[in-house]
Structure 1
Amino acid sequence: MRVAALISGGKDSCYNMLQCVSAGHSIVALANLMPHTHVPDELDSYMYQTVGHQAVDLYAEAMDVPLYRRTIEGSSLHTGREYSQTEGDEVEDLYQLLKLVKEKEHVEAVSVGAILSDYQRVRVENVCARLQLQPLAYLWRRDQAELLREIISSGLQALLIKVAAYGLDPERHLGKSLAEMEAYLHELSEKYGVHICGEGGEYETFTVDCPLFKKKIVIDSMETVIHSADAFDTYRLSAVTLVQEFFGLPVDIRSNSASVRTPRRPEPNPARLHTPAK
């Protein structure tokens, strides 16, 4: 199927794209929701990761596919377990964005990097149902330790750009790669119950390279942004560039015959996010 990938810049949305290609789908467009320019770093949103949004534009060139972006105008108004169309809710920004992408790129499905959040799942399903799009969520309810190992093994490189959990120190851990952090995240999970993949908001990442990229993102400089006196800080990506890839396995993300450096593709196991047969 022709797929639009919802991306935040984080590891999960990128790895789900890899799984879509591995399943035989074609990534034909990227879609991203971003905060207003007067919101410099992170928007208070139940739905969207916005930390690192300054560098998301580079994904279009890195992957050589069009990127559609929309400013988040709404807020979290309808916060119940179920969702119905609500004027002024931030979910309606997602609807308008995907509506445009469907019209322009004739997509049939949406790549979604959700792992654990029923709040996000319900709202993405609502939008996709209204637009007659198929959500593809290969990471849904995966074992997080196994999933993190797969992400690292796939060749995806992501850096921590936000920490917000006991045991994560901004001075020590911001800017570290997932590979560098894996053992310590397991330790924090055993000691304090930290979600290894950050599903409790413990950390956020920004992907600088993966097998789908034709160019690697290089972060030239980062600025630490202190949000509170406790361990809740982010990196502002103040200068980023692209460099041509001269190594690794080339991947045609528009081709159903693409060969991707990914481990075995697990069958998705969502409550409602079903993946149709190829």
Structure 2
Amino acid sequence: MKFLALVSGGKDSIFNVIRCIQEGHELVLLVNLYPKNIGKETDSFMYQSVGTNIIDAISLAIDKPILKREILGKPKVTNLDYQSNQEEREGDEVEDLFEVLKEALTLYPDIKGVSSGAIASTYQKLRVEDCCQRLGLVSLAYLWNQDQFNLLGQMLQNNMNIILIKVAALGLSEQHLGKSIQEVFQHFKEIHEKFGFHPCGEGGEFESLVLDCPLYKKRIQINESEVVCHENNSVAPVYYLLIKSYSLIEKD
């Protein structure tokens, strides 16, 4: 099945592409939805915003075209299954996803599937499925409902170089930004036991960026970045990495 991949640059969306290909599907197109303040932290129930300013690097690294759309809507229909009429949905951020998928089908009418990195968010998964159903597409979510530590282990076994680019949890601080999953794996176990931390960040604890993986023809190197404090509180301050410059490096 030919498919497009919803990608943020984070570990889940990229690993699900790897899983789709392992299952025999053919990647045709990457799709990204980005905020007005691209690359900076933006409140959204659906989309990762941090790191979106280097999404073109992901496209070049994978060597596949990318279709991008700015997120114009806001979270309006917030019931779990997105059941509502068209008037209520107008201006919702989910409709930005619907519109970009519709555009993708115009450009690539042989696409049949949509890859997403949904793991535990029923809210997000049902909204992707809603858009797919309206367009006659199949939702491909191979990571859904899997054990999160097991998933991280699979990602490392697939030689994914993943770094943290946002932290927002008890037990994480700005010092963890830029660290690889390998470097923080044991720490994740410790704060999971202490605080109930979700090791894949499904509670919004962190966001990530994939610098290299078997899918990439070139690896991404961050040349310059800035640590930004988005929310300073005593329990779980929110910091993110604003990437200012990067390079694509040929792989051996």
State the one-letter code of the partner of 1:200. G
Residue 72 (str. 1) matches residue 103 (str. 2): no
Per the alignment, residue 58 of structure 1 pairs with 57
Task: Tell me the alpha carbon deviations over residues 138-189 of structure 1, each in whole angstroms, 9 at most, x when there is no partner.
Answer: 000000111111111111111100000011011x201000111111101110
Q: How many residues align?
A: 244
| Structure 1 residues 40 and 28: CA distance shift in structure 2, 3 A | closer
- Give the Cα–Cα distance (whole angstroms) in 2 for the partners of residues 205 and 175 of structure 1: 9
How far did residue 40 of structure 1 move?
Answer: 5.4
Per the alignment, residue 199 of structure 1 pairs with 202
How far did residue 227 of structure 1 move?
Answer: 1.2
Q: TM-score w.r.t. structure 2 length?
A: 0.95
How far did residue 63 of structure 1 move?
Answer: 1.0
- Give the Cα–Cα distance (whole angstroms) in 2 for the partners of residues 206 and 244 of structure 1: 18
Task: Tell me the alpha carbon deviations over residues 76-115 of structure 1, each in whole angstroms, 9 at most, x when there is no partner.
Answer: 0000122144110000000011111112122100001000
Per the alignment, residue 133 of structure 2 pairs with 129
Secondary structure, aligned partner of 2:231:
coil
Counterpart contact for 2:39–2:49, Cα < 8 Å = no
Gaps of 5+ in 1: 247-278
- Give the Cα–Cα distance (whole angstroms) in 2 for the partners of residues 162 and 134 of structure 1: 31
Per the alignment, residue 92 of structure 2 pairs with 89
How far did residue 61 of structure 1 move?
Answer: 1.1
Task: Tell me the alpha carbon deviations over residues 183-240 of structure 1, each in whole angstroms, 9 at most, x when there is no partner.
Answer: 1101110111000111000110011111010011110011001112232100001111
Percent of aligned pairs sharing the same letter: 45
1:166-185 alignment, distance < 5 Å: 166-170=170-174, 172-185=175-188
State the one-letter code of the partner of 2:154. E
Higher helix proportion, which one? 2
Residue 235 (str. 1) matches residue 241 (str. 2): yes
State the one-letter code of the partner of 1:194. F
Further displaced range: 217-226 or 97-106? 97-106
Task: Tell me the alpha carbon deviations over residues 232-274 of structure 1, each in whole angstroms, 9 at most, x when there is no partner.
Answer: 100001111101111xxxxxxxxxxxxxxxxxxxxxxxxxxxx
Secondary structure, aligned partner of 2:99:
helix
How far did residue 42 of structure 1 move?
Answer: 1.5
Per the alignment, residue 164 of structure 1 pairs with 168
Counterpart contact for 2:39–2:243, Cα < 8 Å = no
Per the alignment, residue 32 of structure 1 pairs with 32
Per the alignment, residue 263 of structure 1 pairs with none
Task: Tell me the alpha carbon deviations over residues 121-154 of structure 1, each in whole angstroms, 9 at most, x when there is no partner.
Answer: 1111100000100000000000011111111111
Counterpart contact for 2:39–2:52, Cα < 8 Å = no
- Give the Cα–Cα distance (whole angstroms) in 1 for the partners of residues 93 and 44 of structure 2: 8
Deviating above 2 A after TM superposition, structure 1's stretches of 4 or more consecutive aligned residues are none
| Structure 1 residues 135 and 222: CA distance shift in structure 2, 3 A | same
Secondary structure, aligned partner of 2:232:
coil
What RMSD, in angstroms, separates the aligned Cα atoms of the two structures?
1.0
Per the alignment, residue 221 of structure 1 pairs with 224
Per the alignment, residue 140 of structure 1 pairs with 144
Per the alignment, residue 47 of structure 1 pairs with 46
- Give the Cα–Cα distance (whole angstroms) in 1 for the partners of residues 59 and 149 of structure 2: 30
